[in-house]
Amino acid sequence: MKLHFTLNGEARTFETAPGERLSELLRRSGMLGVKIGCSTGDCGTCTVLFDGEPVVSCLMLAAQAEGASITTVEGLSRDGKLHPLQEAFLDEGAVQCGFCIPGMLLSSFALLEENAEPYEGEIRSALSGNLCRCTGYENPVRAVKRAARAMRGEEE
Ligand code: FES
Ligand code: FES
């Protein structure tokens, strides 16, 4: 069956089969930043933005994306320039094995869209669905604070 949705700002048409997960469709469409960890909705590595809200794409059918706007980590950079969140994750040493990072970036992006100056607890809450086995969360939390400052135009 044919499916139409906006992927990273571009109107696209896809072929899908009943039962195909959104995570699978996105990966076979080249969005390899959508990582498959558990396929049971527990790890958050497959997080994408669905009409601006973070969702675990492994628990969604591709067909549910009809007419929606989907953002993957590939859609965060603009004109070859990393998003301030991506810069901050690098600057704070928040990327270790990297497997969880696309999901963390998208959850953080959604948070900062709603709240330009989040408290640490709000950042930790936003990242709570993204399991990370490497960082202990300290550096990612610092990275989100750093990105928030940069996006508010505050000097480092
Ligand atoms: S792969 Fe989707 S939540 Fe783990
Ligand atoms: S950086 Fe390795 S799982 Fe998070």
For 14-48, write each residue's pLDDT tens digit.
Answer: 999 999 999 999 999 999 999 999 999 999 999 99
Please identify, among 51, 75, 99, the residue that sits at the C-terminal boundary of a domain: 75
CB of 96 sitting under 6 A from ligand 2: yes
Give the nearest ligand 2 atom to 96 CA: 1
Count of domains for the chain: 2
Residue 51 pLDDT exceeds 70: yes
Q: Does residue 143 line the site of ligand 2, with CB under 6 A?
A: no
Ligand 2 center to 63 CA (angstroms): 30
Q: Which pTM does this prediction carry?
A: 0.97
| Environment class of 124 (CB within 10 Å of its CB; exposed 0-12, middle 13-18, buried 19+) | middle
Examine the domain organization and report whether 62 and 116 are in the same domain: no
For ligand 1, atom 3, name the residue with the nearest CA. Answer: 41
Query: How many whole angstroms separate alpha carbon 31 and alpha carbon 45?
Result: 13
pLDDT band for position 156 (cuts 50, 70, 90) = low
Q: Are residues 63 and 8 in the same domain?
A: yes
Report the alpha-carbon angle 37-41-44, nearest 5. 55
Q: Does 156 map to a domain?
A: no
Taking the C-alpha atoms of residue 143 and residue 93, their distance in angstroms, rounded to an integer, is 8
Strands 10-15 and 47-50: unpaired
Q: Which ligand is nearest to the CA of 131?
A: 2
Kindly state whether residues 14 and 70 are assigned to the same domain.
yes
Q: With H, G, I as helix, E, B as strand and everything else as coil, classify residue 122.
A: helix
Cα(105) to centroid(ligand 2), Å:
12
42 is written with which tokens? 């527990």
What residues form DSSP beta bridges with 69? 6
Domain span holding position 125:
84-151
